[in-house]
Amino acid sequence: MEDFVVFERSDVRLHDLAQFDSSWRRKGQFREWVESLAFTIIFVLVFTSYIAQATQVPTESMKPTILVGDHFFLDKLAFPANYPEVLRAFLPRRSIKRSDIVAFKSPTDGSIPFVKRVIGLPGDTVEVRNKDLYLNGSMTDEPYKIHVDSTTYSPDGWTPEELKIRDNYGPVTVPENSYFVMGDNRDNSNDSRYWGFVTRDEIIGKPLFVYWSYESDPYIPGDKSFRDWIESYALIAIHFFDKTRWFRFGTMIR
């Protein structure tokens, strides 16, 4: 009888121990999940802030080099404006050259960075005459640019200011530590002709390559409501296979 009682008590202890072990394992698994989630969030934040960032252009300003719906990565180590000043000296900071395509903080406070081509370096004199670009007094060949409007507007009193500036601009001299940038789609680009120069510290990265491209219409980011975003994502899900530009995958941006 005593052996039976002892056995019963031992069984209770084992049962309690099993419950404790199961509870401890559940807590351990939950803790591991929380730690993994926290690590993932921190890694993503650090990666997108300082190493690379996925972005896109919502307009046709860089057409045909970059199309509306092209999604691509930015190399944020190339021009580390987002890094603390004490760290910049230790990073592989490269010089910016003419014809480089760069991403920079939006001068109009948009959430998506602007992407344009560097036209003028510090000290350069930039001028646009009848849609042709002149650098330091000499006309420059630009094989990457396009003009979608065959009309060239003269800088007379009857021409709207926006069209005057578009086709005839300057001359201006690029100040120190600044750059003159323009879109490849010259007749449809909001660039330095309208809001001035981009400083070195405003440049946040260099576009690398297209990782996905989807046929879509141009849009202004701030004009989209929450409902518009939901509808656009639903359309992407429906037309993913027939509107994805498969030929754009891996296209280097230069």
Which of 50, 73, 88 is the C-terminal boundary of a domain? 50
The CATH number that applies at residue 84 is 2.10.109.10
Judge whether 205 lies within some domain: yes
Judge whether 1 lies within some domain: yes
Most confident segment among 75-84, 149-158, 223-232: 149-158
Looking at the fold, whether 187 and 223 belong to one and the same domain comes out as: yes
At 14 the pLDDT is 55
Which of 50, 68, 91 is the C-terminal boundary of a domain? 50
Looking at the fold, whether 27 and 114 belong to one and the same domain comes out as: no
Looking at the fold, whether 14 and 59 belong to one and the same domain comes out as: no
Sheet with 52-56, strands from edge to edge, namely 52-56, 70-75, 203-213, 101-104, 114-120, 178-182, 198-199
Q: Could you tell me the pLDDT band of residue 5, with boundaries at 50, 70 and 90?
A: very low
Judge whether 254 lies within some domain: no
The total of structural domains in the chain comes to 2
Q: What distance in Å separates the CA atoms of residue 159 and residue 166, rounded to the nearest whole number?
A: 11
Looking at the fold, whether 5 and 75 belong to one and the same domain comes out as: no
Looking at the fold, whether 187 and 77 belong to one and the same domain comes out as: yes
Judge whether 154 lies within some domain: yes
Question: Taking the alpha carbons of 130, 133, 136, 141 in that order, is the dihedral positive or negative?
Answer: negative
Is 30 a residue whose pLDDT tops 70? no
Rounded to whole angstroms, what are the CA distances from 125 to 25, 65, 113, 120, 131? 69, 25, 26, 7, 16
Looking at the fold, whether 74 and 36 belong to one and the same domain comes out as: no
Looking at the fold, whether 127 and 201 belong to one and the same domain comes out as: yes
At 109 the pLDDT is 66
Is 80 a residue whose pLDDT tops 90? no
Looking at the fold, whether 126 and 6 belong to one and the same domain comes out as: no
Cβ atoms 146, 79 nearer than 8 A: no
Looking at the fold, whether 123 and 206 belong to one and the same domain comes out as: yes
Looking at the fold, whether 161 and 213 belong to one and the same domain comes out as: yes
List pLDDT tens digits, range 169-208: 989 999 999 999 999 999 999 999 999 999 988 998 899 9
Judge whether 12 lies within some domain: yes
Is 72 a residue whose pLDDT tops 70? yes
The structure tokens listed for 228 are: 């518009």
Looking at the fold, whether 72 and 30 belong to one and the same domain comes out as: no
Looking at the fold, whether 35 and 115 belong to one and the same domain comes out as: no
Is 126 a residue whose pLDDT tops 80? yes
Judge whether 253 lies within some domain: no
At 7 the pLDDT is 44
Judge whether 117 lies within some domain: yes
Identify the domain containing residue 21 by its residue range.
1-50
